[in-house]
Amino acid sequence: MVPPVTGPTILAFDTSAPACAAALLHNGMVTTRVDEMAKGQAEHLIPMLEEMLSTAGLHWADLDGIGVGIGPGNFTGIRIAVSAARGLALGLGKTAVGVSTLDALSIDQPNAIACLSAPRDRAYIQANGIAALCNLTPDDMPPYQPKSEPVLIGNAAEAVANLIPLQTSDPKMPMITAIAHLAARRLHSTTQPPSPLYLRAADAAPARDAPPVILP
């Protein structure tokens, strides 16, 4: 008789891109949902998660932990997901695990260099475990180890391949699925609540109005 699949039940989500993405890891199986949207993730996220749990016949209390994508990516989107994860973890008494989207992109590929598109013709690149925001120019590419036969992965892989002589490869699994699996693996070693991973300054214009006068 084959023993039942065991493992933690994880609900993971990510809003660092223009979408609400979620994955439910339960009994070793993953159910995913990705709702494309440029805005409105804050109002859409929790009802979407509740619907996923209900469809699986589960309740919030059945979860062993929460997984959340912490970026890099859209500033507002990252804050939405991280705030939701921390609030759910506090209310449920569960652990929330933050997972870098660059880690998720290169899951189970130790020689992978993760490459994600960034604003203004740049890319978020993680090589040798170090993440940085890079200009797509030859002199701004991160160092890599040719002997390890690294490969480039991600939606900016082709652009980076034009600058350094490496092969491109496909991710092992969808981003949100990888976030759920990494959250499960790190569930019992995580000691800090998730925090946003920002690799660039906010695209915010300074206020034009003078600050208010503080009366004594």
Same structural domain for residues 37 and 114?
Answer: no
From first to last of its 216 residues, the chain has per-residue pLDDT tens of 444 557 899 999 999 999 999 999 999 999 999 999 989 999 999 999 999 999 999 999 999 999 999 999 999 999 999 999 999 999 999 999 999 999 999 999 988 999 999 999 999 999 988 999 999 999 999 887 665 778 999 999 999 999 988 999 999 999 999 999 999 999 999 999 999 999 876 554 444 545 445 444
48 is a domain residue: yes
Bridge partners, residue 126, by sequence: 114, 131
176 is a domain residue: yes
**From CA 37, how far away is CA 100, in angstroms rounded?**
21
Same structural domain for residues 53 and 85?
Answer: yes
Same structural domain for residues 84 and 180?
Answer: yes
32 is a domain residue: yes
Same structural domain for residues 121 and 138?
Answer: yes
pLDDT of residue 202: 56
210 is a domain residue: no
Same structural domain for residues 93 and 149?
Answer: no
Same structural domain for residues 35 and 17?
Answer: yes
The boundaries of the domain holding residue 42 are 10-102+172-186
pLDDT of residue 34: 98
pLDDT of residue 205: 46
24 is a domain residue: yes
Query: Which domain CATH number covers 82?
Result: 3.30.420.40
**From CA 210, how far away is CA 216, in angstroms rounded?**
18
213 is a domain residue: no
Tokens in use for 179? Answer: 């976030």
191 is a domain residue: no
163 is a domain residue: yes
142 within 8 A of 149, measured Cβ to Cβ: no
Same structural domain for residues 35 and 123?
Answer: no
Residue 190, Cβ density class (10 Å: 0-12 exposed, 13-18 middle, ≥19 buried): middle
pLDDT of residue 118: 95
Instruction: Name the strand (E) or helix (H) holding 69.
Output: strand 65-69
How many residues appear in the chain?
A: 216
Same structural domain for residues 84 and 70?
Answer: yes
The domain tally of the chain equals: 2
Same structural domain for residues 96 and 181?
Answer: yes
Same structural domain for residues 75 and 98?
Answer: yes
Same structural domain for residues 18 and 119?
Answer: no
103 within 8 A of 129, measured Cβ to Cβ: no
Same structural domain for residues 93 and 114?
Answer: no
Please provide the average confidence, as pLDDT, over all residues in the chain.
90
